[in-house]
Chain A
């Protein structure tokens, strides 16, 4: 950390002094100096932006890294383990997070992609504008509002229990608009000429969309979905409101509690005991890693499709 801080300070100092000499410099030298200043400013900003990132990653690694090295972490739940005891793992939470993310994606992807197809390929006039406007609004809905909305419908109105599926519904509300927007962007990037080429072969519009347009945009759509999924996996408000924690492994979406990494962090965070604190950091690092992997997967898909084209 300290090396980064001094680097930032040093660049700020150079920036000031070089700016002063830039005013006095000759014509071409002046340009050279301006370029140098811009370079230093950009690098300085970049380094400053990196500080919190490196800090968080570093802390999580230092304080939680050893948890992930234990095989138990990946094979055991917290069943029967009290806050003051060392041991157990995070399988219940990892599995819960993944299940909920997967179910959320299974619901959100068809809705999101089809909405985007409608908006780009068919949408004209009032209905399309209304849909687009509603997607905009949905994009701006804070996660806690989505969670409370689902709570109001699921628990208050229908009288159901707080279960994993309710969490998925709330996450869906957050994920659909991001998928719609990213898919829309990708569909718009598909050149109109390809659609026309397909029409000119006597291919109907819907088939053109499914066989030409969507495959052409496929990698971009997948990237958008993976990035959206990565974002949704870190959401916590719906979990706190709709998905009570359990120390046991659970797979039932419709009854009982299901643990997730954020709720595991939230539970152990309240214990002032070292084993619990270690678990908090371990779970945090695990969550960061999963999200990182999803992000990398997204980038990889984008990269390889570019290579292929």
Chain B
């Protein structure tokens, strides 16, 4: 199920503005990869190019290649919708569909793509909610609105919704930044479990979090404001936090700037 992502010489633009330049990296399957770096260096931008969400923004376009197990995601005959079916995403702020119940939120991806079998849907809902460690908390109120949950529960609901469509890769953009420490721990535990099945990429501003959950860490930085962001270094988290190759990485991680 989990697949590997190869990014080759990727430049990312917002209209004429080049936001990120020359990213080449490999995201290993069944592992957690963390993106760290100062604000505005392009972590979210890179993350969003991995499932072609970047193009949703008017003027957003890229130069370069993103391969999912040798399949070029930006090939001309590649449908962005199909890409997003393979590569799911969890956003910074929990965003359950407000008109839908908890059950429908989880089933949304399958239902909207045409699955009708009620029994099958219920199975997927249960499995996904269990996978997101939310089942016990909501199993008695599946028909209540998803917006009625706490922030942390909503975020896990969004994770359940994302894994319900069985993606190969799961992208998370600061999934814990709107949550309290307890909910954050719950999500981190969940990320640990998810990597058995999925390739996980997570953007975080929290060094400890990166150190706790990630197998590999990529450090992005930008030379100056207005200049494009760059991938400075990518290595195992162990190495990045103990003896990184680059001085900038060490400075950033030890809190000397950023």
Contact = CB atoms under 8 A, between A and B. Distances in A.
Contact of B112 (A193, A196, A198): A198
Interface string A177-212: 000000000000001011111111111100110011
Interface in A103-140: 124
Residue from B82, B93, B97 with most neighbouring chain A CB atoms (10 Å): B97
Given A201-B161, A201-B162, A309 B147 contact: yes
Contact of B109 (A202, A218, A308): A202
B53 interface: yes
Interface string A273-309: 0000000000000000000000000000000000011
Contacts, number: 72
Contacts of A201: 84-85, 88, 108-109, 112-113, 161-162, 165
B53 A309 contact: no
A201 B81 CA distance: 8
B56 interface: yes
A199 B53 contact: yes
B158 interface: yes
A215 interface: yes
Interface residues of A, number: 23
B91 interface: yes
Contact of A196 (B56, B85, B145): B56
A193 B91 contact: yes
Contacts of B89: 196, 200
A194 B97 contact: yes
B147 A202 contact: no
A124 B51 CA distance: 23
A196 B88 contact: no
Q: Is the interface of A mostly helix, strand, loop or mixed?
A: helix
B242 interface: no
Contacts of B84: 199-202
Contacts of B112: 198, 201, 203, 207-208, 211-212
B126 to A, nearest CB: 18
A216 interface: yes
B73 to A, nearest CB: 13
Contact of B81 (A204, A216, A309): A204
A126 to B, nearest CB: 15
Contacts of B158: 197
Contacts of A124: 58
A216 B113 contact: no
The 4 closest A-B pairs by CB, nearest first: A202-B85, A201-B109, A200-B89, A193-B95
Interface of B: 51, 53, 56, 58, 81-82, 84-86, 88-89, 91, 93, 95, 97-99, 108-109, 112-113, 145, 147, 158, 161-162, 165
Interface of A: 124, 191, 193-204, 207-208, 211-212, 215-216, 218, 308-309
15 contacts: A194-B97, A196-B89, A197-B95, A201-B85, A201-B108, A201-B109, A201-B112, A202-B165, A203-B112, A208-B112, A211-B112, A212-B97, A216-B97, A216-B98, A216-B99
